Amino acid sequence: MAVDPARAEETIAWLDKADEDLRAARVLAEAHEPLLESAVFHCQQAAEKALKAFLVWHDVLFRRTHSLEEIGEQCLQIDAGLMDLVDEVAPLGEYAWRYRYPGEAEYLGLDEVKDALDVSSRVLLAVKERLDSDDDFAKSRLVDAE
């Protein structure tokens, strides 16, 4: 199979954005005065973008959604080995909206933020490991480096 440079570039762009969101989440959570609500939003975003990168690489279209459950289901059709991780990350989907707007929101503690950071980090790592083990993806990265 010939490597599609545009698809490889788009996949890498999604992964870069996922890395950036995860970094933002850590910075916000570890600040002198932590911004926990913003941190969990970025955890959700990191997981979402990592899963979308996986779909982009596999040339699977997805609709505009923040539902980690929906995106995860599409990923499972490619790699059923992601099942436990998708089940674990799906509840983070509510962080796309729960704390983003004014109103009554449930209390958010540091432990919940740490859990969100952990699972979103593991999702990103799992996607990267799967892509790095894909010979075509590895070739595309070598072509980009030249």
Q: Sign of torsion, CA 58 60 66 67?
A: negative
Per-residue model confidence as pLDDT tens digits over 42-87: 999 999 999 999 999 999 999 999 999 999 999 999 999 999 999 9
Residue appearing with tokens 């990350």: 89
User: What's the rounded mean pLDDT across residues 108-121?
Assistant: 96
pLDDT value at residue 145: 46
pLDDT value at residue 28: 98
The CB-based long-range contact list for 67-75 (8 Å cut-off, 24+ gap) reads: 67/93, 68/44, 68/92, 68/93, 69/93, 75/51
pTM of the predicted protein model: 0.92
- Give how far the C-alpha of residue 142 lies from the chain's centroid of Cα atoms, to the nearest Å: 24
Mean pLDDT of the chain: 92
For every residue of the chain, which 3-state class applies, written as one string? Answer: CCCCHHHHHHHHHHHHHHHHHHHHHHHHHHCCCCCHHHHHHHHHHHHHHHHHHHHHHCCCCCCCCCCHHHHHHHHHHHCHHHHHHHHHHHHHHHHHCCCCCCCCCCCCCHHHHHHHHHHHHHHHHHHHHHHHCCHHHHHHHHHHHC
Residue appearing with tokens 């004014």: 102
pLDDT for 126 beyond 90 = yes
Asked whether the beta carbons of 110 and 29 are under 8 A apart, the reply is: yes
